[in-house]
Structure 1
Amino acid sequence: MSILTKNETFRNEPFVNFALEENKQAMEAAIAKVKARLGRELPLHIGAEKIFTDAKIKSINPGNVDEVIGYVSKADQSLAEQAMQKALATFETWKKVPAAERAEYLFKAAAIMRERKHEFSAMMVLEAGKNYAEADADTAEAIDFMEFYAREMLRLAAINEHQPLTPVAGEDNKLTYIPLGVGIVIPPWNFPLAICVGMSTAAIVSGNTILLKPASTTPVIAHMFVELMEEVGLPAGVLNFVPGSGAEVGDYLTTHPKTRFVSFTGSKEIGLRISRLAADTAPGQIWIKRLVAEMGGKDGIVVDETADLVAAAQAIVASAFGFQGQKCSAGSRAFIVESVYDEVVEKVAALTKQIESGLPEQNFAAGPVIDQGSYDKILGYIEIGKSEGRLIAGGGKAEGNGYYIQPTVFADVDGKARIMQEEIFGPVLALGKAKDWREAIDLYNDTEFGLTGAFFSKDESRIEEALQTMHCGNLYVNRKCTGALVGAHPFGGFNMSGTDSKAGGYDYLLLFTQAKMTSRKL
């Protein structure tokens, strides 16, 4: 594994090649190590206090539902208020800590996570149902976020000293970026380390204090991150860990008059609810709350008749079924020009049928979906799909003591069909036919979302037009529509996909700051 110092230019953490026996054995050893500490009771972290509650979130292995990952203490409104008051008090000192010192905590945490990379990945294999490569990519991205945002804070601090303002004779004018205050961070379960770490550390390194409410299906990996930040010496009260129900704790904190911002990644429905709640002004509130939201997608791939059809089919399958389609960037639809439609459909069906499902700790290509609710919802959409298209692969449950569903493909699906329009968040792919490449782009654009997309073609003029007309936040040419890299592919979408806040981009930290202009007469 590479070692990146803070003085070096940022570069992405390399992925581990598990085809090599030594790497496979290292992951197996990490899984065994993590399994030895499953089933523990884990506390809330409020300032320096570790609080165990009677109410617990029971985290289970979605690939083996008899295995308990851990019992995580559950906050109520009283404890949420206690955490808020601690975060408010701590903000008064944390905001004054120099940027370089704040960044140093992230550099230290990234270095330790790199040393224990397989342990963090192993926990996601067990708690989230990721295979080795998906879990490793998640941990690598978490490391990348910390390295990148630490460097970004140093860059912004330098800009604060030398902001290029128009000079005015007789005045000393400065524009500086200062932190906002206390934020609520609500990460998703599908990237339970990377996005949790990215959202949290972006706010923290910018000088804010936070209340972290992890996803209820993956709270144990989030707790590992909290322990890591404690280990590197992050002052108590900067990061407060308050798992709890969205209805009780999430709504309470979102509407709290002292909440300055909410950083959320998750479903459109919950994101819109948070937007509505945050928009209301609570008694005693003296600011407009800022919302940073990423809310999912109905992403797709367009293939024209000039494309490399083998590469296109491979990208369609990889985009649709990586981590069982449980990615906001997942390519759950594809529109293919009619002259090559049948050939691409045949290739996609053949590749999909090769995907083997099984226990993630045994590194099967396809694992379970996250929980019973998702399992039931996805199977329901598969039944809908049987009336909306032609089933060419999968179509039901897969074997295993968990939430296993066969990778499923429907062909000949109309662009207005439910499985073409609604976010399923599971291993379900819909294929549609277009008379030409422009109609395929129109079909792609016909959605309320706008997160990721891909265009496959060898025609440069078509590519140039697609770059202008395909309406999404992250558009890729001749490659899959998943797999954004920190720094290289700032990530965030249009329309109902969120606020287009580009995580892993060079303006992201500005969302957690406010610009203050000072002018002094000389």
Structure 2
Amino acid sequence: MITTTNKDIKEYKHEPFTDFALKENKNEFYKALEIVQAELGKDYPLIIGGESITTPEKIVSINPADKEEVIGRVSKADQGLAEKAMQVALSTFNTWKKENSEARANILFRAADIIRRRKHEFSGYLVKEAGKPWKEADADTAEAIDFLEFYARQMVQLKDGAPVQSREGEVNKFNYIPLGVGVIISPFNFPLAIMAGTAAAAIVAGNTILLKPANNTPVIAAKFVEVMKEAGLPEGVLNYVPGSGAEIGDYLVDHPKTRFVSFTGSREVGCRIYERAAKVQSGQIWLKRVIAEMGGKDTVVVDKDADLDLAASSIVYSAFGFSGQKCSAGSRAVVHQDVYEEVLEKAVTLTKTLTMGNPMDVDTYMGPVIDQASYNKITKYIEIGKEEGRLVAGGEADDSKGYFIQPTIFADVDEKARLMQEEIFGPVVAFCKARDFDHMMEIANNTDYGLTGALLSNTPAHIERAKEEFHVGNLYFNRGCTGAIVGYHPFGGFNMSGTDSKAGGPDYLILHMQAKTTSETI
């Protein structure tokens, strides 16, 4: 039995962000970057049970800001090794599911403490491997700590199930039990926070997992696996199997012993997983559960009485934070015609003050996009934008050293144009003019997605209408549409944005469990 602690489960506080204006914090971060720099180029094995497995075929992780710099070489799983990991996870589940909830939670608490002590080091890996500027990296690491702490506390609160009524002469109970083996497929854009959160939620609920991280950011995932081992996670609970989506991703989603799939990524891949998981395979005795977060086409709406400086900054920082590579990024600005030109001018002026460059520099606001494929896709959309709208900021790109694309604004874009409808996942925002509030709501809801949205308005009646009519999973007023905080803003969306699984929310862990009713006659 794993030793537990008496940590107060109710005392949840969001992990604070680092103030890099303070010299001592800046110096500490530079020291951490030196530690990370000294570790670059290492080889990382697969972890299956207690075994470290090195394969001849590698995933080579590179720095998107400097294509010549190798972050690490990660062994690549094939179907044979994926099957081995599945068998280990199945066997381990028989013991892990019996571990008490406090003990499982305690491992997450310890992991959070380890990452907290090494916070800048983990952020340094995010700078190097994901191309995140300092503040974005720091927020990613803080969110990972938040997920570990939040889900640990939530599991302890759920350990006794939910109350149900008992009639005279019987005792009734309603408890949650683990599902089984889960496949965790995590994204590159929050390669620590989302990877750690999805893995930890499944584990603390009593499941065993196969973790397949994004191929752009497998080293950060390998570092997290090391932390979980140090925190006392038994061998075989977390199996680290990076590899090709086509080769092992489909294989594991289809596997008859896979009980659930937790996926964060593109709409295309998410829909593919949803469809494949729905098919009952030979030997499969359950319906697989899919937890999917698939992206968005998110809108910042500006009313005619809004604070226009706040509106401009909300649009710009929602669009260009981490180069627009957030599913919550505000890639559409819908502005009332009476204030359209003024908001556009303010947004363009602010955008031109943003610093773009190597994220190793503390003053860099926007670094590279993640890889050549993303660079090619985004630059193609910029060319489309030149046909659909008026280029008023940015529009240039350079992939000679890293994958750099300027923060780009297109004005006067039609509400049905491709730039207004399709997820670009890059630093591109389209401005669209609206006649009145009815028109604003119409445009805000005219995509296939429904993840985040923001309304800048000082009209209470419009705010109340938006609460009812603006069909997104996370709706914000008088601020940007990015920056959800664990426990404060449960995160997940509607329509083609996924299964609205609300990460960091009160019902997220339950998605990784099944309910069992027992009734005892006395």
Structure-2 separation of matches of 1:105 and 1:166: 33
Structure-1 separation of matches of 2:241 and 2:444: 40
CA offset at residue 438 of structure 1? Answer: 1.9
Correspondence 1:509-520 to 2 at 5 A: 509-520=509-520
Query: Sequence identity of aligned pairs in percent?
Result: 62
**Residue in structure 1 matched with residue 22 of structure 2 by the alignment:** 20
Structure-2 separation of matches of 1:347 and 1:389: 18
Contact 1:60–1:67 under 8 Å retained in 2: yes
CA offset at residue 399 of structure 1? Answer: 7.5
Contact 1:358–1:400 under 8 Å retained in 2: no
**Residue in structure 1 matched with residue 340 of structure 2 by the alignment:** 341
**Residue in structure 1 matched with residue 242 of structure 2 by the alignment:** 243
**Residue in structure 2 matched with residue 386 of structure 1 by the alignment:** 386
Contact 2:453–2:474 under 8 Å retained in 1: yes
- CA-to-partner distance for each residue in 1:442-465, whole Å, 9 max, x for gaps? 101100000000001001111111
1:484 is paired with a residue whose SS is coil
CA offset at residue 520 of structure 1? Answer: 1.0
Structure-1 separation of matches of 2:12 and 2:232: 23
CA offset at residue 398 of structure 1? Answer: 4.4
**Residue in structure 1 matched with residue 42 of structure 2 by the alignment:** 40
Correspondence 1:155-170 to 2 at 5 A: 155-158=157-160, 160=161, 163-170=162-169
**Residue in structure 2 matched with residue 136 of structure 1 by the alignment:** 138
Q: Which of 82, 92, 95 is the aligned partner of 2:94? A: 92
Structure-1 separation of matches of 2:52 and 2:355: 42
Contact 1:130–1:360 under 8 Å retained in 2: yes
CA offset at residue 400 of structure 1? Answer: 6.4
Q: Which amino acid aligns with 1:96?
A: K
Structure-2 separation of matches of 1:117 and 1:443: 41
1:334 is paired with a residue whose SS is strand
CA offset at residue 297 of structure 1? Answer: 0.1
Structure-1 separation of matches of 2:159 and 2:230: 25
CA offset at residue 6 of structure 1? Answer: 3.8
* Greater mean deviation of Cα atoms: 200-209 or 14-23: 14-23
**Residue in structure 2 matched with residue 372 of structure 1 by the alignment:** 372
Contact 2:189–2:326 under 8 Å retained in 1: yes
**Residue in structure 1 matched with residue 479 of structure 2 by the alignment:** 479
**Residue in structure 2 matched with residue 197 of structure 1 by the alignment:** 196
Q: Which amino acid aligns with 1:56?
A: K
Structure-2 separation of matches of 1:401 and 1:361: 14
* Greater mean deviation of Cα atoms: 395-404 or 384-393: 395-404
- Any gaps of 5 or more consecutive residues in structure 2? 1-5
**Residue in structure 2 matched with residue 102 of structure 1 by the alignment:** 104
Contact 1:359–1:400 under 8 Å retained in 2: no
1:240 is paired with a residue whose SS is strand
CA offset at residue 164 of structure 1? Answer: 2.2
Q: Which amino acid aligns with 1:256?
A: H
- Give me the CA root mean square deviation: 1.0
- CA-to-partner distance for each residue in 1:59-108, whole Å, 9 max, x for gaps? 00000111000000000000000000000000000000000000000000
1:361 is paired with a residue whose SS is coil
Correspondence 1:310-321 to 2 at 5 A: 310-321=309-320
Contact 1:357–1:398 under 8 Å retained in 2: no
**Residue in structure 1 matched with residue 280 of structure 2 by the alignment:** 281
Q: Which amino acid aligns with 2:409?
A: V
2:227 is paired with a residue whose SS is helix
Q: Which amino acid aligns with 1:469?
A: E
**Residue in structure 2 matched with residue 447 of structure 1 by the alignment:** 447
**Residue in structure 1 matched with residue 67 of structure 2 by the alignment:** 65
- CA-to-partner distance for each residue in 1:442-493, whole Å, 9 max, x for gaps? 1011000000000010011111111110000000000000000000000000
Structure-2 separation of matches of 1:216 and 1:395: 28
Q: 1:360 to 1:343 in 2, by over 3 A?
A: same
Structure-2 separation of matches of 1:270 and 1:520: 45
Is 1:264 equivalent to 2:226 in the alignment?
A: no
Q: Which amino acid aligns with 1:416?
A: K
Contact 1:264–1:271 under 8 Å retained in 2: yes
Q: Which amino acid aligns with 2:105?
A: A
Structure-2 separation of matches of 1:173 and 1:85: 35
Structure-1 separation of matches of 2:123 and 2:350: 27
Q: 1:310 to 1:399 in 2, by over 3 A?
A: farther
**Residue in structure 2 matched with residue 425 of structure 1 by the alignment:** 425
Q: Which amino acid aligns with 1:485?
A: I
CA offset at residue 354 of structure 1? Answer: 1.0
Q: 1:311 to 1:398 in 2, by over 3 A?
A: farther
**Residue in structure 1 matched with residue 149 of structure 2 by the alignment:** 147
Structure-1 separation of matches of 2:502 and 2:365: 29
1:339 is paired with a residue whose SS is coil
Contact 2:10–2:153 under 8 Å retained in 1: no
- Any gaps of 5 or more consecutive residues in structure 1? none
Structure-2 separation of matches of 1:321 and 1:281: 42
Structure-1 separation of matches of 2:11 and 2:246: 43
CA offset at residue 233 of structure 1? Answer: 1.4
**Residue in structure 1 matched with residue 3 of structure 2 by the alignment:** none
- CA-to-partner distance for each residue in 1:131-155, whole Å, 9 max, x for gaps? 0000000000000000000000000
1:476 is paired with a residue whose SS is strand
1:166 is paired with a residue whose SS is coil
- CA-to-partner distance for each residue in 1:340-365, whole Å, 9 max, x for gaps? 00000000111111112100111311
Structure-2 separation of matches of 1:77 and 1:217: 20
2:453 is paired with a residue whose SS is strand
CA offset at residue 232 of structure 1? Answer: 1.1
1:211 is paired with a residue whose SS is strand
Structure-1 separation of matches of 2:211 and 2:8: 26
Structure 1 residue ranges (4+ consecutive) displaced by more than 4 angstroms after TM superposition: none
Contact 2:195–2:213 under 8 Å retained in 1: yes
Correspondence 1:397-412 to 2 at 5 A: 397-398=397-398, 401-412=401-412
Q: Which amino acid aligns with 1:397?
A: A
Is 1:116 equivalent to 2:118 in the alignment?
A: yes
Q: Which amino acid aligns with 1:150?
A: A
CA offset at residue 167 of structure 1? Answer: 2.2
Q: Which amino acid aligns with 1:467?
A: K
Structure-1 separation of matches of 2:179 and 2:81: 23
2:450 is paired with a residue whose SS is coil
Q: Which amino acid aligns with 2:379?
A: L
Correspondence 1:298-337 to 2 at 5 A: 298-337=297-336
CA offset at residue 22 of structure 1? Answer: 1.3
2:504 is paired with a residue whose SS is coil
Structure-1 separation of matches of 2:496 and 2:97: 33
Structure-1 separation of matches of 2:457 and 2:286: 48
- CA-to-partner distance for each residue in 1:348-386, whole Å, 9 max, x for gaps? 111111112100111311100000000000000000000
CA offset at residue 7 of structure 1? Answer: 4.4
Q: How many residues align?
A: 516
**Residue in structure 2 matched with residue 231 of structure 1 by the alignment:** 230
Q: TM-score with structure 1 length normalisation?
A: 0.98
- CA-to-partner distance for each residue in 1:33-83, whole Å, 9 max, x for gaps? 101010011000000000000000000000011100000000000000000
Is 1:11 equivalent to 2:10 in the alignment?
A: no
Contact 2:9–2:156 under 8 Å retained in 1: no
